[in-house]
Amino acid sequence: MPIESTKQQGTQIERRTFAIISHPDAGKTTLTEKLLLFGGAIREAGAVKGKKARRHATSDWMEIEKQRGISVTSTVLQFSYRNRRINILDTPGHEDFSEDTYRTLTAADSAVMLIDAAKGVEPQTIKLFEVCRMRGIPIFTFINKLDRQGKDPLALLEELEEVLGIRSCPMNWPIGMGQEFRGIYNRTDCRFERFTERGEETQDIQVDDIDHPSLREELGPELHDQLKDEVMLLDIAGDPFDAELVGRGQLTPVFFGSAIANFGVETFLNQFIDLAPAPGPRQTDAGVIEPTNSSFSGFVFKIQANMNPAHRDRVAFVRICSGKFERGMNVLHVRSGKKTNLAQPQQFFGQGREIIDEAYPGDIIGIFDPGLFRIGDTLTESGRFHFEKLPQFSPEHFARVYVKNTLKYKQFHKGIEQLSEEGAIQVFRQANRTEDMVLGAVGQLQFEVFQYRMKAEYGTDVELHNLPYSFARWIETSEDIEKLNYDRHSIIVVKDKDDRLVMLFPNEFSIRLVLDKNPGVALHSTSYGM
């Protein structure tokens, strides 16, 4: 075993490293801001970026990126709260960049699933949830916007189960909604929190049990009876809280609130801190690495290039998995076998960044990338092992790419190779025609940024021809691929960067047809575990 003996690091504060997953407009920016306020990381609301970029056209977006540079494209927001260090992995606001978001989730130890009470489970939430499920990480649910009329809370729980297939355990329960919203009743400590529009201080009502007269007086007989009925129903028919099931991602604790009114957020944060997991062991090709292992290790999950062609600096974001990181330390870049010095590590704090001297498991550091790093690379202080490969995710847009000036062929290939290593785009090759490249992107905007960067950074004009596919599926079969029964006019087989076979489909129906016709074949929407 290349893994050093373990030594407990007693002095270090425990981390809670998580990402918020949601559909656009559910209130992620608002919730993040409120969480930061509790940590004292920002002084006023309105400081969290990410939102503004979303609705702009591509050119504007790039202009913004240029102005903001890498320091503002926040990747992690860190603050201390109670006796914990919180790392919120921020995910790109623009839904077209969900591939980046997917990969960011591999660096998280848990996820907060934010749901708009009026909209319920939305498409982007489903996709992100699937990534969390694949990793088996705990998922905590915050149902937002209770100050507006939304769906019935019981119906929302049903939706979690039916659409996502996850069981839920409400930690608190809302009383009324919208104009009638009165507050939440915390099931664990029988505490009623009165809703106030602007998060003004009010006195909670602490009772011994739900039948208490002071609660009845507060709510009036009708709402009180309704609360009692619903909570009784949850007690009898609902799932009890089970830390083990939560830990495996099979049961989600549910909290209700209103992010904008800063209501229910503190209660959520307090319980989340207690229930969410600390950084855990991570799988490598040489066995499991414990966070308590004294020797530093980590992996690159994101590479951020500066859009400004005058400064071609790239930052690689590293999730620390074990040991202690110290500024200036020499580490092994396992893939190349090269030693590299991590001289200017940066940590991101709200909108700013600062040079840091040390960091611990669960932390994310940004390191200057001289062009050495790829997504998924492992760094170690001692030992030669690799963390699990980061999966590739199914693109939803495909295009063939051509270089306009054939004299630029070399640049063209270099650009494509580097940008795909950086994870900016996925590259597939048609199995029998090595030169015929197919690019895949999760969002159309990703293509536009690719085109822009090929020109700006590699001096190459490229042309993209859209292809009529919408789904990629990694193929698992023991049979000869040539013998598979599928429609060769509408489906093509390509290879990904690691030579795994992938089928590109025009629609879901065609995926089902292939599965029906080829019983021995399994199709996967990511390369995870392959």
Residues that bind ligand GDP (CB under 6 A): 22, 24-30, 51, 144-145, 147-148, 258-260
51 vs 327 by CB, closer to ligand GDP:
51
146 vs 332 by CB, closer to ligand GDP:
146
524 assigned ligand-binding residue: no
22 assigned ligand-binding residue: yes
145 assigned ligand-binding residue: yes
22 vs 380 by CB, closer to ligand GDP:
22
The DSSP line for 45-85 is: TT---SSTTTTS-HHHHHHHHHHHHHHHS-SEEEEEETTEE
224 assigned ligand-binding residue: no
93 assigned ligand-binding residue: yes
5 vs 179 by CB, closer to ligand GDP:
179
The CB-of-152 to ligand GDP minimum distance in angstroms stands at 17
CA–CA separation, 58 and 78 (whole Å): 29
48 vs 437 by CB, closer to ligand GDP:
48
28 assigned ligand-binding residue: yes
Q: In what order do the strands lie in the sheet with 205-206?
A: 172-175, 183-186, 191-194, 205-206
75 vs 284 by CB, closer to ligand GDP:
75
User: For the CA atoms of the chain, what is the radius of gyration?
Assistant: 25
User: For 161, which DSSP code?
Assistant: I
267 vs 420 by CB, closer to ligand GDP:
267
92 assigned ligand-binding residue: yes
CA–CA separation, 168 and 239 (whole Å): 7
The CB-of-518 to ligand GDP minimum distance in angstroms stands at 40
Q: Report the candidate in 117, 118, 61 with the shortest Cα–Cα distance to residue 94.
A: 61
Exposure b/e, 484-500, CB count within 10 A at least 16 = b: bebeeeebbbbbbeeeb
27 assigned ligand-binding residue: yes
Amino acid letter, 359: A
The CB-of-359 to ligand GDP minimum distance in angstroms stands at 27
146 assigned ligand-binding residue: yes
29 vs 378 by CB, closer to ligand GDP:
29
For residue 508, give the 3-state DSSP assignment: helix
Distance of CA 415 to the CA centre of its chain: 27
CA–CA separation, 444 and 253 (whole Å): 35
91 assigned ligand-binding residue: yes
The CB-of-59 to ligand GDP minimum distance in angstroms stands at 22
Strands (E), 350-425: 352-355, 358-359, 364-369, 378-380, 397-403
The CB-of-23 to ligand GDP minimum distance in angstroms stands at 7
The CB-of-91 to ligand GDP minimum distance in angstroms stands at 10
Placement of tokens 């694949």 in the chain:
134
The CB-of-400 to ligand GDP minimum distance in angstroms stands at 33
Q: Report the candidate in 361, 193, 209 with the shortest Cα–Cα distance to residue 264.
A: 193
The CB-of-73 to ligand GDP minimum distance in angstroms stands at 15
Exposure b/e, 93-132, CB count within 10 A at least 16 = b: bbbbbbbbbbbbbbbbbbbbbbbbbbbbbbebbebbbebb
Instruction: List residues forming the annotated binding site for GTP.
Output: 22-29, 90-94, 144-147
Instruction: List residues forming the annotated binding site.
Output: 22-29, 90-94, 144-147
